[in-house]
Amino acid sequence: MTTSSETEIDPAVTRAAPEMRLVCLGLGYSARALVELLDTRKVDVTGTTRSPEKADTLHRRGIRTIVFDGKQPSAALSDAIRTATHIVVSAAPTSEGDAFLWHHERDIVHADGLKWIGYLSSVGVYGDHDGAVVDERSVCRPASERSMWRLAAETAWTACGHRTGVPVSLLRLGGIYGPGRNQLKQLADGKARRIIKPGQVFNRIHVDDIAQTVERAMERPAARIYNVVDNKPSPPQEVIEFAAELMGVEPPPAVPFEEADLTPMARTFYGEVKQVSNRRLHDELGIHLLYPTYREGLRALWESDRWRG
């Protein structure tokens, strides 16, 4: 009950304006992890999804969501982009390019308050380097079509940044794992495979480390490339074996690569061998990985029971 000297205050009126207006072009696995990390009292978030059902789910979680199928411009997305301070692009391009640039590059150019664009790419753009160490200065020679599309999209977003005078950070991600997407769940679902190809290694990255890296890159906007990968490129069978050890189960039988029934996409992954350096991630962004290798990441998922998702 209020007295004559007291005034009821409308929180909607007194709430401070958000310090950041973030637009996520694609609210996928990595972008959702970023949103969960951010302080929503200081960050206003709008994101896109192709699915009306997914949009409803995200709305119920308090995330403003726009359905965008890439086929035509969206008035709602146009408004969101023009008032954005930061943009994160996580949706994959197609053979025809990046749908957000086709339909909304003009809005990006006219976003007067825009400070930074982050493009979530893939270390697949480096292609095969015969097991050698690669860093952000290494030559990109993608072999798969999808990696070629990624590299073309990197070039297009970088050019957009030049036109707008906004720094674009290219964040090249390793193999993503985390809650609901990991070797523990593969084993539990009976989908794990232990494929042996001598000399084959992959870099990985926990989705929580992607989120903290994107947040840090927002705070230090720069037109730079960063390899967002763990500290230890490892053979895929080693990861399966460690997951099985954590669960106390037998790993699946070993299958020679030559005998493995792989999809064309999976086979292209095994056709590329490289060790990706993350030194710039540490030296320039000051990132300390929460999960430096798959061992810390899988153990944390298992012990917290987050592996199920």
- Going 300 to 302 to 306 to 308, the CA torsion angle's sign is positive
- The residue type at 288: H
- pTM attached to this predicted model: 0.93
Specify if 105 maps to a domain: yes
Which CATH number do you get for residue 56?
A: 3.40.50.720
SS3 letters across 52-102: HHHHHHHHHCCCEEEECCCCCCCHHHHHHHHCCCEEEECCCCECCECHHHH
Specify if 266 maps to a domain: no
Specify if 301 maps to a domain: no
**136 is written with which tokens?**
């952000």
**21 is written with which tokens?**
């207006």
Confidence check: pLDDT of 45 > 90: yes
- Output DSSP code: residue 125: G
Query: For 234-287, how does the pLDDT look when each residue is reduced to its tens digit (9 = 90+)?
Result: 999 999 999 999 999 999 999 999 999 999 888 888 999 999 999 999 999 999
Give CA–CA dist 195/230, Å, rounded. Answer: 21
Structural domain that includes position 113: 17-178+204-229+276-290
Specify if 157 maps to a domain: yes
Query: For 74-85, how does the pLDDT look when each residue is reduced to its tens digit (9 = 90+)?
Result: 999 999 999 999
Specify if 286 maps to a domain: yes
Confidence check: pLDDT of 9 > 80: no
Specify if 299 maps to a domain: no
How many C-alpha atoms does 282 have within 13 Å on its Cβ side? 11
More confident residue, 215 or 16: 215
Specify if 43 maps to a domain: yes
How many domains, in total, are found in the chain?
Answer: 1
pLDDT-based confidence at residue 17 (cuts at 50, 70, 90) = low
Confidence check: pLDDT of 6 > 60: no
Q: Tell me which residue of 116, 139, 249, 153 sits closest to 192, measured CA to CA.
A: 249
